[in-house]
């Protein structure tokens, strides 16, 4: 039975269920204990499980993430919360040099059941140092898995799957999604963690996106349908690995691809998606692959400029329309 939950509540339920089921699961980070988490994800857990399993840490990202790595090597299942992705930069040594490499360098003798939960993305006027997307940085690190849940249901499923997994997994949560509501079925069987979801079927073009922009892409598809353009919307759900088969199947049907991302266009996730699919689906493409992405600038503080710096629904609609119109008779084909 599905119930309506906010995104943060879905994560909170996942944490609670996993902590209750397995004593080796614990969480640590800044303000996760007494305060209940910056975005309320650990709310109530401190009271229920105590300070040993819900640890408040000092402002010391590399140290407490390193503590998580060590705990994972010793057989625990830590869930590290880094307050925002911007502060994850300080923890990259623990993540990239330790978590991602130790299983490989030890020939699999050490497993790494580590989850790092990170809020990120452009929220509301938090300025350049607090409004980044760093998926491009960690996508390029072999050994990591990256989940990017866009819905409360996926947040619930993917956090539980991440905790159960023996691989190091970064959960990129979008700051503007925490207070979005959606149906969550706590009992339903989840799809594999990396499986992309076709959010809306269509025949005229494929829009591939992830995280909050997958939600915006769906809204754009509704607008496009009013003009007679049927967009197929794919929410990747995972950036490493990427479910290429689902993408290719769609592209072989629609023959046009628009990649939408909040992150800067240059050398970002969209570049990887566009390049791989152009290689794989070359003979199915009826138009050049298009990318719609954030501008190649630090996020402005000014609210108007901030909104202008990342793709909005109207931008997605316009880009999709252009892609279909530049190949006339799009709807006939």
Partner 1 sequence: MPLAITMPALSDTMNNGRLVKWTLRIGDKVSKGQTIAEIETDKAVMEVEAFHDGYLAGPLAAVDSEIPVGQVIGYIAESPVAEIAIAAPAAPAAAAAPAAPVPPIPPVAVPPASGVRASPYARRLAQQLGVDVADLSSRQGEVHADAILAAARRAPAADLDAGPPYRIERVSSLRESLARTMAASAATPVFRVTARLPLGPLKLTAKAAQVSLTLLLARASALSVTAHPLFNAVYTPEGFARRERVDVGIAVDTAEGLIAPVLRDVAGRKLADLAADWAGLRDRVNSRRLVPEDYRGATFYLSNLGQFPVVDSFDAVLPQGAAAILCVAGAGAERASFTLGCDHRVLAGADAARFLQTLAEFLTDPGTLLGAPD
The residues that are catalytic are 61, 130
Binding partner 1 (rule: CB under 8 A), the pick from 188, 222, 267, 333 is 333
Q: Give the number of other Cβ atoms within 10 Å of residue 140's Cβ.
A: 12
Applying CB under 8 A, does 329 fall inside the site for partner 1?
Answer: yes
Q: Give the number of other Cβ atoms within 10 Å of residue 130's Cβ.
A: 18
Q: How far is the CB of 290 from partner 1 (least distance, A)?
A: 13
Q: How far is the CB of 326 from partner 1 (least distance, A)?
A: 8
Do you know the residue count of the chain? 333
Applying CB under 8 A, does 280 fall inside the site for partner 1?
Answer: no
Task: Cite the beta strand spans of the chain per DSSP E.
Answer: 2-6, 25-29, 54-56, 77-81, 115-120, 145-147, 169-174, 181-185, 197-200, 205-209, 231-235, 238-240, 257-264, 290-294
Applying CB under 8 A, does 184 fall inside the site for partner 1?
Answer: no
Applying CB under 8 A, does 332 fall inside the site for partner 1?
Answer: yes
Q: Which residues contact 286 (CB under 8 A, 6 or more apart)?
A: 255, 256, 327, 333
Applying CB under 8 A, does 248 fall inside the site for partner 1?
Answer: no
Single out the residue of 87, 75, 153 nearest to residue 117, CA to CA: 87
Applying CB under 8 A, does 52 fall inside the site for partner 1?
Answer: no
Helices 152-164 and 7-21 cross at an angle (nearest 10°) of: 30
Contact mark string toward partner 1, 201..240, x via CB under 8 A: ----------------------------------------
Contact segment (CB under 8 A) with partner 1 among 51-59, 125-133, 195-203, 279-287 equals 279-287
Task: Give whichever of 140 and 326 is closer to partner 1, judged by the CB atom.
Answer: 326
Task: Give whichever of 52 and 282 is closer to partner 1, judged by the CB atom.
Answer: 282
Task: Give whichever of 145 and 255 is closer to partner 1, judged by the CB atom.
Answer: 255
Q: With contact defined as beta carbons under 8 Å apart, do 9 and 178 qualify? A: no
Q: With contact defined as beta carbons under 8 Å apart, do 112 and 73 qualify? A: yes
Task: Give whichever of 186 and 287 is closer to partner 1, judged by the CB atom.
Answer: 287
Single out the residue of 198, 205, 185 nearest to residue 236, CA to CA: 198
Contact mark string toward partner 1, 281..310, x via CB under 8 A: -xxxxxx-----------------------
| Sheet containing strand 145-147, strands side by side | 54-56, 25-29, 77-81, 115-120, 169-174, 145-147, 238-240
Q: How far is the CB of 287 from partner 1 (least distance, A)?
A: 6
What CA–CA distance (Å, rounded) separates 142 from 46?
A: 34
Q: How far is the CB of 130 from partner 1 (least distance, A)?
A: 42
Task: Give whichever of 58 and 329 is closer to partner 1, judged by the CB atom.
Answer: 329
* Residues 34, 37, 42, 48, Cα dihedral to 10°: 0
Sign of CA dihedral 31, 34, 38, 42: positive
Binding partner 1 (rule: CB under 8 A), the pick from 255, 290, 291, 321 is 255
- CA 115 from centroid of its chain's CA atoms: 13
What CA–CA distance (Å, rounded) separates 12 from 3?
A: 14
Task: Give whichever of 31 and 286 is closer to partner 1, judged by the CB atom.
Answer: 286
Task: Give whichever of 189 and 279 is closer to partner 1, judged by the CB atom.
Answer: 279
Q: How far is the CB of 142 from partner 1 (least distance, A)?
A: 29
Applying CB under 8 A, does 279 fall inside the site for partner 1?
Answer: no
Q: How far is the CB of 173 from partner 1 (least distance, A)?
A: 37
> Which spans of this chain sit near partner 1 (rule: CB under 8 A)?
255, 282-287, 327-330, 332-333
């Amino acid at each position: 039975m599905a119930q309506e939950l906010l995104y943060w509540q879905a994560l909170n339920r996942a944490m609670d269920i996993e902590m209750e089921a397995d004593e080796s699961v614990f969480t640590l980070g800044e303000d996760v204990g007494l305060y209940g988490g910056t975005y309320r994800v650990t709310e109530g857990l401190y009271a229920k499980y105590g300070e040993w399993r819900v640890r408040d840490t000092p402002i010391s990202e590399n140290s407490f993430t390193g503590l998580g790595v060590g705990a994972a090597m010793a057989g625990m299942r830590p869930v590290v919360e880094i307050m925002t992705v911007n502060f994850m930069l300080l923890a990259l040594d623990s993540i990239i040099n330790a978590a991602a490499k130790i299983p490989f360098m030890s020939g699999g003798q050490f497993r790494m059941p580590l989850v790092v939960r990170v809020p990120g993305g452009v929220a509301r006027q938090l300025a350049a140092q607090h409004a980044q997307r760093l998926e491009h940085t960690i996508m390029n690190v072999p050994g990591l898995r990256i989940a990017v849940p866009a819905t409360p249901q996926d947040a619930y499923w993917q956090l539980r799957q991440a905790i159960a997994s023996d691989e190091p997994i970064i959960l990129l949560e979008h700051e503007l999604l925490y207070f979005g509501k959606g149906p969550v079925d706590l009992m339903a069987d989840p799809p594999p963690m990396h499986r992309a979801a076709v959010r809306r079927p269509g025949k005229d073009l494929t829009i591939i996106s992830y995280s909050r922009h997958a939600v915006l892409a769906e809204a754009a598809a509704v607008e496009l349908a009013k003009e007679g353009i049927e967009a197929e919307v794919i929410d990747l759900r995972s950036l490493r690995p990427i479910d290429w088969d689902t993408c290719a199947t769609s592209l072989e049907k629609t023959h046009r691809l628009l990649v939408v991302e909040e992150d800067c266009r240059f050398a970002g996730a969209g570049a990887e998606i566009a390049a791989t699919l152009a290689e794989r689906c070359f003979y199915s493409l009826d138009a050049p692959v298009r990318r719609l992405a954030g501008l190649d600038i630090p996020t402005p503080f000014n609210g108007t400029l901030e909104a202008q710096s990342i793709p909005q629904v109207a931008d997605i609609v316009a880009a999709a329309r252009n892609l279909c119109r530049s190949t006339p008779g799009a709807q006939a084909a």
